[in-house]
């Protein structure tokens, strides 16, 4: 990383052209990521072993799109690795990406998990599911529509409706049923809440285990992570994961995605990394490290995640969720979901 910092220092002294040339190291690729370094470093180590290309990593919890934009043509970023269609779309809207021209990606990643304009591609999936009380919930199947059924009054726990994970689910509902039906549904779900939306997905499992609610809404991987955590294992053990579906459809999925930076100084290496991430080896490593579903067909699902049952992913293109995000956010405020 010292070499990366040295190059960054050169930027301040160089013209935009020479700075960009200084960053273009033939054997390197620079990745900005929202993923925790400990989760993705093994992946990058494997890429370096396979290709000889060194990966320089900048990790942050927020603000990477703004950073790339501020760096402009001098940005060292080649690849942005992020999670959720919300953050993926924000990067595209910020104008800091360029199309990924790759036959490998086009043939490997299903079209519903790629941007129609080529600016992003999914490399793994997560599903928004139900953590149900083992003791109090007997059914093993449920639809998202059913969450508004009055039979669940006072029995549902969820984090903020404005959180990106819920925003994507609600946007998917808008895409499936339209704005008016989505508003009616959100009012029904709000009426069924056991408490004000708060905390995170782990806390919904905690509250189900404590008997505060019977159903919690969370992402698939959190349950697996809780099973590995001695302090939270009991929360997972008190619940079962149900893969909900839209009526007549499949389970809502979101993405971990990858984007090519607009001014990537190591563009060729950036594309190599993106293509490598879609390969069988990387798909298996990534899925196991993060307890997510591979996007590449034929790659085995981690046994813990497979234990939830077979995922019948919703066929709705993830790009359609992006276009409904603003409507979903407006509806959350309109119905007072978080109040």
Mean pLDDT of 79-104: 96
* 19: pLDDT strictly greater than 90: no
Per domain, the residue ranges of the chain are 2-125+255-306, 127-252+310-334
Query: Quick check: helix, strand or coil at residue 127?
Result: strand
Pick among 1.20.1440.130, 3.40.50.970, 2.40.320.10, 3.40.190.10: CATH of 2-125+255-306:
3.40.190.10
Sequence-distant (6+) residues with CB within 8 A of 69 are: 94, 95, 96
Do 2-125+255-306 and 127-252+310-334 agree at the fold level?
A: yes
Residue count (the chain) = 339
Query: Quick check: helix, strand or coil at residue 255?
Result: strand
pLDDT in tens, 188-208: 999 999 999 999 999 999 999
Q: How many CB atoms lie within 10 A of CB 6?
A: 10
Is residue 165 exposed (0-12), middle (13-18) or buried (19+ Cβ within 10 Å)?
A: buried
8 Å CB contact between 120 and 92? yes
- The pair of structure tokens assigned to 216 is 């919690």
Classify domain 127-252+310-334 at the CATH class level.
alpha beta
Buried b (16+ CB within 10 A) or exposed e, 242-273: bbbbbeebbbbbbbbbbbbbbbbbbbebbbbb
pLDDT in tens, 232-281: 999 999 999 999 999 999 999 999 999 999 999 999 999 999 999 999 99
Mean pLDDT of 111-116: 97
């Amino acid at each position: 990383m010292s070499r990366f910092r040295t190059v960054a220092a050169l930027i301040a002294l160089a013209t935009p052209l020479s700075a960009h040339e200084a960053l273009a190291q033939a054997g390197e690729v620079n990745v900005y990521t929202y993923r925790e370094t400990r989760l993705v470093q093994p992946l990058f180590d494997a890429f370096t072993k396979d290709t000889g290309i060194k990966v320089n990593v900048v990790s942050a919890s927020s603000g990477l799109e703004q950073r790339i934009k501020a760096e402009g043509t001098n940005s060292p970023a080649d690849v942005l690795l992020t999670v959720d269609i919300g953050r993926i779309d924000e990067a595209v809207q910020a104008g800091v990406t360029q199309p990924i021209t790759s036959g490998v990606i086009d043939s490997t990643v299903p079209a519903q998990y790629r941007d129609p304009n080529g600016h992003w591609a999914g490399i793994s999936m997560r599903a928004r599911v139900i953590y149900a009380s083992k003791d109090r919930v007997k059914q093993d199947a449920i639809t998202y529509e059913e969450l508004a059924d009055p039979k669940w009054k006072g029995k549902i726990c969820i984090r903020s409706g404005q959180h990106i994970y819920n925003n994507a689910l609600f946007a998917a509902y808008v895409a499936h049923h339209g704005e008016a039906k989505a508003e009616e549904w959100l009012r029904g779900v709000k009426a069924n809440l056991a408490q004000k939306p708060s905390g995170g997905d782990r806390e919904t499992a905690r509250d189900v285990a404590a008997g505060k609610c019977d159903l919690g809404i969370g992402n698939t991987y959190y349950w697996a992570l809780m099973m590995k955590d001695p302090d939270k294992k009991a929360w997972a053990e008190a619940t079962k994961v149900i893969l909900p579906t839209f009526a007549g459809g499949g389970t809502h999925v979101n993405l971990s995605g990858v984007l090519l930076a607009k001014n990537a100084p190591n563009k060729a290496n950036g594309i190599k990394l993106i293509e490598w991430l879609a390969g069988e080896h990387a798909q298996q490593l990534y899925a196991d490290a993060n307890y997510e579903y591979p996007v590449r067909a034929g790659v085995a699902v981690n046994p813990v995640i497979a234990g939830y049952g077979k995922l019948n992913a919703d066929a709705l293109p993830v790009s359609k969720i992006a276009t409904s995000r603003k409507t979903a956010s407006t509806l959350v405020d309109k119905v007072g979901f978080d109040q």
